[in-house]
Amino acid sequence: MVKCHFLLTATLVSLMLSSVIAHGDKKEGVTYDGRSLIINGKRELLFSGSIHYPRSTPEMWPELIQKAKRGGLNVIQTYVFWNIHEPEQGKFNFEGSYDLVKFIKTIGENGMFATIRLGPFIQAEWNHGGLPYWLREIPDIIFRSDNAPFKIQMEKFVTMIINKMKEEKLFASQGGPIVLAQIENEYNTVQLAYRNLGVSYVQWAGNMALGLKTGVPWVMCKQKDAPGPVINTCNGRHCGDTFTGPNSPDKPHLWTENWTAQVFGDPPSQRSVEDTAFSVARWFSKNGSLVNYYMNCCLFRNNPDTMMKLLLMNMVCRGNQNGSHLKDLHRALNLCKKALLWGTPNVQRLSADVEARFYEQPGTNDCAAFLANNNTKEPETVTFRGEKYYLPAKSISILPDCKTVVYNTMTVVSQHNSRNFVKSRKTDGKLQWEMFSEAIPSNLPVDSRIPRELYNLTKDKTDYTWFTTTINVDRNDLSARKDINPVLRVASLGHAMVAFVNGEFIGSAHGSQIEKSFVLQRSVKLKPGINFVTLLGSLVGLPDSGAYMEHRYAGPRGVSILGLNTGTLDLSSNGWGHQVALSGETAKVFTKEGGAKVTWSKVNKDGPPVTWYKTLFDAPEGKSPVSVRMTGMKKGMVWINGRSIGRYWMTFISPLGEPTQSEYHIPRSYLKPTDNLMVILEEEEASPEKIEILTVNRDTICSYVNEYDHPPNVRSWERKNNKFTPVADDEKPAARLKCPNQKKIVAVQFASFGDPSGTCGNFAVGTCDSPMSKKVAEQHCLGKNSCVIPMDKGLFTGNKDNCPNLSKNLAVQVKCSDKNPKRSANQA
C-alpha cells in the first residue's frame, strides 16, 4: 500500500527546490512539496500524454496537441532524441520533424504544460535507446556508467539541449511551458550490473542536471535512490498499487509512464479503457498528482526514416476509442481538485473487498471520496456515510462531494467508436507497378577471415550488408542420390537474413524481440567446382535497452555446410567479402531522380528477393488519415515521394497466425494531389498487386448504458463559486451520440434494449431484446449530428416486458457520414 502523507505547506525547503526568476512584478517558477507540483504559485492536478515529435510531422503537431487537450490533458510529455539531433559527432540537426523548439512552443501556444525527458538514454522503443552510434566508437567507453568518456559526451549533449531551451525562454521559470525535466531513464533496472560504478553514476547524473539550474524540478523514473531534490517517479500499469512512494516525504507522487503498449509480435490487443481508468483513479486516490499516458499518440509505428529505427514495439495510441471515458475521468478528478490538493487523506474499510479513500479540508465543505471495489469478479453494494452505493467488480466510483457518484471506472457512459479502413476510391484497383531487382553479388573482394560484425559495418546508416564467400566442392563430396542435398546452416546474432547459393534464393530467417539470435538452415544444390554463398544480413535497429549496450553484436557468426560425404564443412573462417548498403539505396532509387538511373520493368508475377517496386497514386479523397495495407508483401521499407515511412514486416507472425501489423501510416503532408511516387524495397519473394491505399476514420460510434447501474455523465455537474452543483435538468441514464467533423448519423447499424454483448463494431443480440430497439434509435438519431436516447423502458417495451426480471442494457451503434441517412423499413 502506498504511504499517504499529510498535507505539507510550501516550506523554505520546497522553495529551494527551484530557482525563481522575476519578470517585472511577477514571480514565476515551479516548486513542489509532498502533495503536488506548485506551478507559478498554484497547485495543479496534471494529466499528461506522451507525443514524440519525431514520430509525427510538424504539420500534425497542432492537431495532435489540440486533441490531447480536448481529451482533458494539460501536459504533453516528450523524450529528447540524441541520435537524431547529433547523428554524427558535432553535427546537429533540429530541422523539420526534429525541431524540438517548435514542438515545445506549439505546446505552449495551445495553453498546455510540457515535460522534457532528456535521458539522454531514453529507451522509448527507439533505435539504440536514443544514443548515437558514434558513441560506440569512442575508445574505452561504457554507456550509462561512472565512465569518463561517456559522462563527457552525455554532459555536452544535455547542456546543449538545456541551453537551447533557455535561449528560447521555454522553461516555466522563464514564462515557458516546460514544468519538469528528466535525467536518465529507468536506471534501476540495470544499475546492479554496474555495481559501485552504477551508484556513483546515478549521483553524478542527478547532480549534473541540478547544476544546470533550469528553474524546474528534475525527475528520475524508476530510481529509488534519486539524489537530493531529484524526484523519483513510477512507470508501470498500476502504480497506485506498485509504487513504494517517493524517497523523501517532501516529494510528490508522480507517474511518468502509464503503459498502454502492445509488443510487436504479440497477439493484437489493447489495454481496456476500464483498466486504464481504474489505475488512474486508484493513483489519484492514493496521493498521486500527475499521470502520464505512454503513449498518448504515436503515429509512426515503425520508423519515420532509415536513421530513426523504432524497434519491435507496436505502440497503441490512447486515441478516440478510449479518450472519451478518460476525458470524463479527468473531469471527475478536477471536480475533486480542491479537496485532493488541500484536504487531509483518510481511509475507511467498508467491507472485505471495498474501501473508501477520502480527502477533507477541516472547517470547509470540501470533501472528495473514492469508493473502490477490489473484487475482480463480483459487484457489491456498500454503505458510505449513510448512503448505499452499487460498485461493479474491479471499479472505483468518484464522489466529488463525498455524496454524489459522478463517475465509475467500469461504467463507460460516454460514447466510444470503432476504427474503419476504407479503400480509396482514387486508387482502388488502379495501381500500376514496375520493378527493379538488385544484382546478387557472388564474389566480393575478401577483406576479412570471418564475417564482420553487422552493427560496425552499417554504422546505423543502412540496415543492409552483403556477405560472400566461395567453396570448391569435389564431385566425391556430393551424394550420388538426387534426393539428398547438402544443407547450409547459418547461425546469426540477428536480426534477419536472406540467403543465396550460386545466385539462387534458398530462404530467409529472422529473430524476435525475445530472442534476437536465430539459425537459418536450408537445403542447397551445390555443383562440382566453385560455389558462391551470398548472405544479405539486415537489422531492425540497434539495441534499445539493457546493460552494456556498447557490447551487443549482430550478424552471422557461424556458417557451415552439412551433409557432405566428407563431413561438415565450417565456412566461418573461410574468408569473406562485404558490401555495405544496397545499390538502390546508394542510387536513391526511392526518389524520382534516383529512380531514373535504373531500368524498371513491368510486374507480371512474384518478384525475386531484394527487389524495388514503384507506382504512382493520387492522394485519397477527403481529409481522413491515410495508410497503406501491405498485403502480398513480406519484409522491407516504403518511401512516399522520396520520404521514408519506415519498415513493414508482414512475415512477423503473431501467435494467432496473422501479421502483427498490416496497415502503415502515410502522413498527408507527404502527399501531393496527384502522381505520388511510392517506392517499396522488398527483401523476399513477393508481389505488390494486392497493396491497397486506405483512408482511416472513426465514423462508427457507439453507446452502451444500463438502466440502473450507470451514473449520469460527469458533464452533468460542475463546481461553481466553490459549490458542487448539477447543470443538467435530467440526470437519468441515456445513450448519447455525436458524430465527428459535423457529420450526421446516416444509419443505425445496431440497436438492442435487453442484454446485448460485445464491443463497438462487434455487438451481438442477447437472449432478451426489444424489437422496437432500432426504430427508437432511428427516431431519435437519424439525420442529426448528435442525439440522446433516453434509457426509458416505456419507449422500448411499451406495456409488455418479455424479461421483467432482467436489468436492461442499451447498446447502439450508428454510422456517421456526409451523405443522406438510410432508414430501415419500419422507420420509413
pLDDT at 3: 33
Q: Phi and psi for 383 in degrees, rounded to 5? A: -110, 130
**Cβ distance 259 to 218 under 8 Å?**
no
- Could you write out the DSSP letters of every residue in 714-737? GGGEEEETTEEEE--S--S-EEEE
The cell numbers describing 237, all together, are 500499469
pLDDT of residue 730: 55
Place of cell 550509462: 144
Smallest Cα–Cα separation from 46: which of 233, 186, 223? 233
| 5 pLDDT more than 50 | no
- Does 167 participate in catalysis according to the annotation? no
| Structure confidence at residue 801 as a pLDDT band (50, 70, 90) | confident
pLDDT reported for residue 820: 76
At 289-303, the pLDDT tens digits run: 999 999 887 554 344
Spatial distance between the Cα atoms of 5 and 238, rounded to a whole number of angstroms: 20
Task: Identify any residues that bridge with 626 across adjacent strands, giving them in sequence order.
Answer: 666, 695
What is the Cα–Cα distance from 752 to 749, expressed in whole angstroms? 10
* Section 28-32 average pLDDT: 90
Please list the helix, strand and coil fractions of the chain in percent, rounded to the nearest 5, in that order.
20, 35, 45
Cell of 142: 561504457
The pLDDT-based confidence of 309 (bands split at 50, 70, 90) is: very low
Does residue 4 carry a pLDDT above 70? Answer: no
- For 534-578, the pLDDT digits (tens) are 999 999 999 999 999 999 999 999 999 999 999 999 999 999 999
* Whole-angstrom distance, CA of residue 758 vs CA of residue 250: 46
pLDDT at 28: 67
Mean pLDDT of the chain: 91
**Selection from 278, 498, 239 nearest residue 373 by Cα:** 278
Residue in the block written with cell 520533424? 97
- Mean pLDDT across 636-658: 95
Share of the chain above pLDDT 70, in %: 92
Instruction: Give the separation between CA 34 and CA 246, rounded to whole angstroms.
Output: 9
Residue 415 pLDDT: 87
Which of the following is catalytic: 86, 186, 683, 684?
186
pLDDT tier, 16 (very low <50, low <70, confident <90, very high otherwise): very low
Please tell me the predicted confidence (pLDDT) of residue 288. 98
Per-residue pLDDT reduced to its tens digit, 481-492: 888 999 999 999
Give the three cell numbers for residue 194.
554496474
Give the Cβ contact number of residue 558 at 10 Å.
16
Mean pLDDT, residues 653-681: 95
Q: What is the reported pLDDT for 810?
A: 94
Q: For 114-138, what is each residue's pLDDT tens digit?
A: 999 999 999 999 999 999 999 999 9
Would you place residue 710 in the very low, low, confident or very high pLDDT band (cuts 50, 70, 90)? Answer: low
Q: Which residue among 257, 274, 380, 692 is the active-site one?
A: 257
User: What is the structure's pLDDT at 731?
Assistant: 64
Q: Is the pLDDT of residue 39 over 70?
A: yes
Lowest-confidence segment of 5-19, 341-355, 754-768, 779-793 by average pLDDT: 5-19
* Per-residue model confidence (pLDDT) at position 107: 98
- Is the bond leading into 804 cis (omega within 30 degrees of zero)? no
Average pLDDT over residues 374-398: 96
pTM over 0.75: yes
Average pLDDT over residues 436-464: 98
Cα–Cα distance between 538 and 580 in angstroms, integer?
Answer: 10
CA 671 to the chain's CA centroid: 24
Quick check: is 434 catalytic?
no
Q: Decide if pLDDT at 321 tops 60.
A: no
pLDDT of residue 719: 84
Residue 39 phi, psi dihedral angles, 5° rounding: -105, 120
The alpha-helical segments, DSSP class H, found in 616-701 are none
What does the pLDDT average to over 322-348?
A: 94
pLDDT digits (tens, 9 = 90+) for 764-784: 999 999 999 999 999 999 999
In this prediction, residue 741 has a pLDDT band, given cuts at 50, 70 and 90, of confident
Q: Using CA atoms, how far apart are residues 818 and 62, in angstroms rounded to an integer?
A: 25
Answer whether residue 812 shows pLDDT above 70. Answer: yes
pLDDT value at residue 310: 32
pLDDT of residue 824: 59
Position 17 scores a pLDDT of: 39
Residue 234 pLDDT > 60 = yes
What DSSP line would sit under 530-585, residue for residue? EEEEEEEEE-S-S--SSS-GGG---SEEEEEEEEETTEEEE-TTS-EEEEES-HHH
> In this predicted model, what pLDDT tens digit does every residue of 44-103 receive, in sequence order?
999 999 999 999 999 999 999 999 999 999 999 999 999 999 999 999 999 999 999 999
Is the predicted pLDDT of residue 15 greater than 50, yes or no? Answer: no
Average pLDDT over residues 513-529: 95
Mean pLDDT, to the nearest integer, of 427-443?
93
The radius of gyration of the chain's CA atoms, rounded to the nearest angstrom, is: 30
Per-residue pLDDT band for 319 (boundaries 50, 70, 90) equals very low
3-state secondary structure 240-298: HHHCCCCCCCCCCEEEEEEECCEECCCCCCCCCHHHHHHHHHHHHHCCEEEEEEEEEEC
pLDDT at 226 over 60: yes
Task: Please confirm whether the linkage preceding 120 is cis (ω < 30° from 0).
Answer: yes
- Residues 6+ away with beta carbon under 8 Å from 515: none
Closest to 180 in 3D by CA, of 8, 18, 333, 330 = 18
